[in-house]
Amino acid sequence: MIIEPKVRGFICMTAHPEGCKENVARQISYIKKLGKTEGPKRVLIIGASTGYGLATRIAATYGCDASTIGIMYEKPANDRRTATPGWYNTKAFEEFATADGYYAKTINGDAFSKEIKEQTIELIKSSMGKVDMVVYSLAAPRRTMPDGTIYNSVLKTVGGNFTNKSLNLNNNTITEATIGPATEEEIQATIKVMGGDDWKDWITELDAAGVLEEKAVTIAYSYIGPKLTYPVYYHGTIGLAKEHLYNTSVEITQEFSSRGIKAYICVNKALVTQASSAIPVVPLYFAILYKVMKEHGLHEGCIEQMGRLFHDKLTPVGAIVDEMNRIRLDDYEMQDHIQHKVMELWDQINTENVNELADLTGYWEDFYHMFGFRYENIDYSKDVDI
């Protein structure tokens, strides 16, 4: 089959297996160049197939020589459609890692479910015995509870309408977007999906099954961002879920203190991923941020961020944290001079100057790369087996 990108707004309906493999290969090559660092040896990554979770898996494997088990929720190909990018990424990663002598196995299914937790525990028992690190990198639109209740997460404000500039992803024009407030029910549902409940369930069940190493570290990813996006992010429904996630990190560390388990929130940089492109207003901020950070030589992708996590932020004597015990990988993004410049450009940006003031090329390059497209060394006119 010859595969072409079919983009609909913030999603691409197709993925290219060779391109996804190239994406993984480039990330591995980056970590190999960075060299080895001391770190975890047996890592469980929940949400391991794309974005930050995939980069974590690659950095742990090739940076710390870790064995990994990944959990993902991805679709294989069928007669009519390609697999999802995460499926191809994971196939490629497992092939590379296995060829390089690393243990890497993946479970494809709903991480919220009891069955997947049980399967994971069995796999840990039969393969590595115990894990010394658990990374929670889920970005999910919904959560199905054991009784069948479904909670859907929403990206809305809390309180009133929020109107601001927004990038129309269909034609690269600058428009205005208004995001309305969530109902109390929607807020609670978002917290159920993207808060810390399920993270804590994982840690509790892993520990009860005896597969969590003493002094294991567990990390969940979060985002804060600039005041500009507070109404839709930090103070919005997703922000409340992230606050719950943070509170859960405190709870886990307290409740498992006798076992020496430490839970951290790691605040990452804003980056184009499948999850983040869906948030209104935010993609325009990304495109301006990319421009400014690249000009200052500070731009990073998921893999550079995760390389820095293992090399600079997680040390043998503990994690480097801020006053709230959070690991900050958004430290470059939040520097005053970077934010100042972004805000200056934000005020000036319009459809006429968007290409000058924002890095639309970089935004779209990252977007297409996520689905395995637009790699200059891949021949997209060739038939591929999906």
Residue ranges at the known binding site: 47-52, 73-74, 110-111, 138-139, 223, 242, 271-273
Report the residue number, 70 or 383, with the smaller CB distance to ligand NAI: 70
Report the residue number, 40 or 196, with the smaller CB distance to ligand NAI: 196
Annotated binding site for substrate: 223
By the 8 A CB rule, do 253 and 247 touch? no
Residues 6+ apart with CB under 8 A from 122: none
Tell me the residue number closest to ligand NAI, measured at CB: 51
Give the nearest distance from C-beta 50 to ligand NAI in angstroms: 4
- Phi (first) and psi of residue 218, to 5 degrees: -130, 140
Neighbours of 337 (CB within 10 A): 9
Give the nearest distance from C-beta 89 to ligand NAI in angstroms: 9
Report the residue number, 2 or 23, with the smaller CB distance to ligand NAI: 23
Report the residue number, 215 or 294, with the smaller CB distance to ligand NAI: 294
User: Which of the residues 233, 234, 246, 368 is marked catalytic?
Assistant: 233
Annotated binding site for NAD(+): 47-52, 73-74, 110-111, 138-139, 242, 271-273
Query: Which residues would be at the binding site for ligand NAI (CB under 6 A)?
Result: 47-53, 71-74, 86, 110-112, 137-140, 221-223, 268, 270-271, 273-276
Give the nearest distance from C-beta 195 to ligand NAI in angstroms: 10
> CA torsion sign, 377 to 380 to 382 to 386?
positive
Give the nearest distance from C-beta 219 to ligand NAI in angstroms: 10
Q: Is 230 a catalytic residue?
A: no
Q: Give me the active site residues, please.
A: 233
